[in-house]
Amino acid sequence: MKLKLKYIIIPLFILLGGVNRSNAVPSSADPKVLHVINRLSFGPSPGEVQRVESIGVDRYIQEQLSPNSIPEPPNLTSQLSQLQTLNLNPVTLYRESQPIRLSNQKPSPEEKKAARDRGRLIEQQAVQARLLRATESHRQLQEVMVDFWYNHFNVDANKGPDRFWVGSYEQEAIRPYVFGRFRDLLEATARHPAMLYYLDNWQNTAPGSPGARGKSQGLNENYARELMELHTLGVDGGYTQQDVIALARILTGWGYRGLNQPTGEDGSPFYFEPKRHDFSDKIFLGQTIKGSGAAEVEQALDILARSPATAHHISYQLAQYFVSDNPPNALVKRLQQRFLASDGNIREVLNTLFHSKEFWDSTNFHAKFKTPYQYVVSTVRATGITVNNTRPMSNMLQQLGMPLYSCLTPDGYKNTEDAWLNPDAMTRRLSFATTLVSGRVPLQSQNNQQSPSQPVDALQLADTLGNSFSVQTQSAIASSSPQLRAALILGSPEFMRH
């Protein structure tokens, strides 16, 4: 039986304040304005609805599709500049996280502790940067697409050195390409050590090759399989187990240098090792790929990126993320055609999506249930609180089952209602909202200590969100005590969706 959101939330309204249906519903903002803000951003911040109403929906879409034209808040720029590990390359990050040996002996307990502290700092700053950008950045669609693509090309921080690399992976392999050509994004993720380690291709070696030794003694199909099933063609993309084996053979030797060896000119440890490669010819997806080393991988990525199956898979996922959990086939087909015609230009595909009749169909307004990430970020944005401390947000995501960079499976976190709607999650969300609006979440404190903060004004909060509430919700809010109203707004069925 499908769980209905109103059956969880509305009884809480009645218990807390009752319902007086005589209360009039204030005039709400243009539904189209609210819809475009909700889908192209992590929800309205104070003044956002009025700004989009003044410039128009079309201009807002074009601005968000060209993020470099949008100036960032000085507070955000300043805070990001203080995160000293944010722009370090993977080799430096790895070395920073290892004990510094002051002698030829084993590291002392003090040296090990210092290394753990540095490693913890790297992880914390990656999470801090992501949450600061999501809440404070004016380039909201860019942040939304970072969330989308990271889940698409998921890497779990809980696996070995990936805990030090996920921030670099996002910074180097995801962010620069979120609106570019899919082929470039595909290669950037394929070359980053975080992905190479997570899906084990760093061990993938031609059996019997000169470099087959230690952990690198045979084929490892993990990355080849996920590269087709998740990243490109999709599970029904028409490939066979023989294609998986062929792609694994193509990918042999595609990995990275020893992390204590010199890096490439760009500071990247990526390295193709010929001694571990299978130089025989391969048949991949019906095409012959001559044995030629690293060029084989480039050819395979070309084939995958330009496949109609890949265009369909990516188009379906984008439509599911931005329109509805079960997107219309006609929309997916049009996006697929645009993907193929534009050689995988992500910006062009998004532009087509945002101007589609399906995107603007009112039945799809507020049809998407917010993931924990979307909910936590949107609550903070709605309050207008300037964030200096992201730990309460990070802790809440942990409680809600969506810790940043820590999805265990390579398919990433789901963005559909059935994955996240349950009574326990709703209770936790309401608890977070209640604590937040009371001023007891130390978002402005650098040391995570309790500091006094003004409670959130319910009228201002409702105005920020465009007063887009049902008669029942409006009445429940109006009938409750003033101290509860802001929490009820952030706990309403309408705010749980976008």
Determine the pLDDT at residue 214. Answer: 77
H-run or E-run covering 69: none
User: If DSSP states are collapsed to H, E and C, what string results for 299-341?
Assistant: HHHHHHHCCHHHHHHHHHHHHHHHCCCCCCHHHHHHHHHHHHH
Rounded Cα distance, 325 and 141, in Å: 19
Q: From CA 109, how far away is CA 95, in angstroms rounded?
A: 18
Q: What angle do CA 18, 24, 26 make, to 5 degrees?
A: 115
Closest by CA position to 492, among listed 221, 169, 386, 484? 484
How much of the chain is in helix, strand and coil states, percent to nearest 5?
Answer: 55, 5, 40
Residue 211 pLDDT = 87
Distance between CA atoms of residues 439 and 3, nearest Å: 31
Rg of the chain taking only CA atoms, in angstroms: 24
User: In degrees rounded to 5, what are phi and psi of residue 261?
Assistant: -95, 165
pLDDT of 20? 36
C-alpha span between 13 and 430 (Å, rounded): 11
C-alpha–C-alpha distance, residues 497 and 3, integer Å: 14
- Longest CA–CA span in the chain (Å) reads 82
Q: DSSP characters for 167-234? A: HHHIIIIIGGGTTSBHHHHHHHHHHSHHHHHHTTGGG---TT-TT-BTTBSS---HHHHHIIIIISS-
Distance of alpha carbon 277 from alpha carbon 211, whole angstroms? 8
User: Tell me: the pLDDT tens digits for 363-406?
Assistant: 999 999 999 999 999 999 999 999 999 999 999 999 999 999 99
pLDDT at 445: 75
Rounded distance between C-alpha atoms, residue 44 and residue 67, angstroms? 17
Backbone φ, ψ for residue 181 (5° rounding): -80, 135
Q: Is the CB of residue 289 less than 8 Å from the CB of residue 299?
A: yes
Which residues of the chain, if any, have pLDDT below 70? 1-27, 100-104, 259-267, 446-453
**Cα–Cα dist 133/171, whole Å:** 12
> Which amino acid makes up residue 251?
L
Q: What is the total residue count of the chain?
A: 498
Question: φ and ψ at 138, to 5 degrees?
Answer: -85, -10
Nearest of 412, 414, 352 to residue 189 by alpha carbon: 412
> In the structure encoding, which two tokens stand for residue 286, read together?
């019906």
Percent of the chain with pLDDT over 90: 79
Instruction: Give me the sign of the Cα torsion angle 133, 138, 139, 144.
Output: positive
β pairing state of 254-256 and 270-272: antiparallel
Query: How far is Cα 226 from Cα 490, in angstroms, rounded to an integer?
Result: 38
In terms of Cα–Cα distance, which of 173, 87, 85, 92 is closest to 123? Answer: 85
353: Cβ contacts below 8 Å, ≥ 6 apart: 318, 319, 322, 323, 331, 335, 359
446: its two tokens: 């650098």
pLDDT at 94: 86
**163 DSSP β-pair partners:** none
User: Cα–Cα distance between 476 and 16 in angstroms, integer?
Assistant: 9
Show the tokens assigned to 125. Answer: 């700053």
- Using a 10 angstrom Cβ sphere, with 0-12 exposed, 13-18 middle and 19 or more buried, the burial of residue 196 is buried
CB 319 within 8 A of CB 39: no
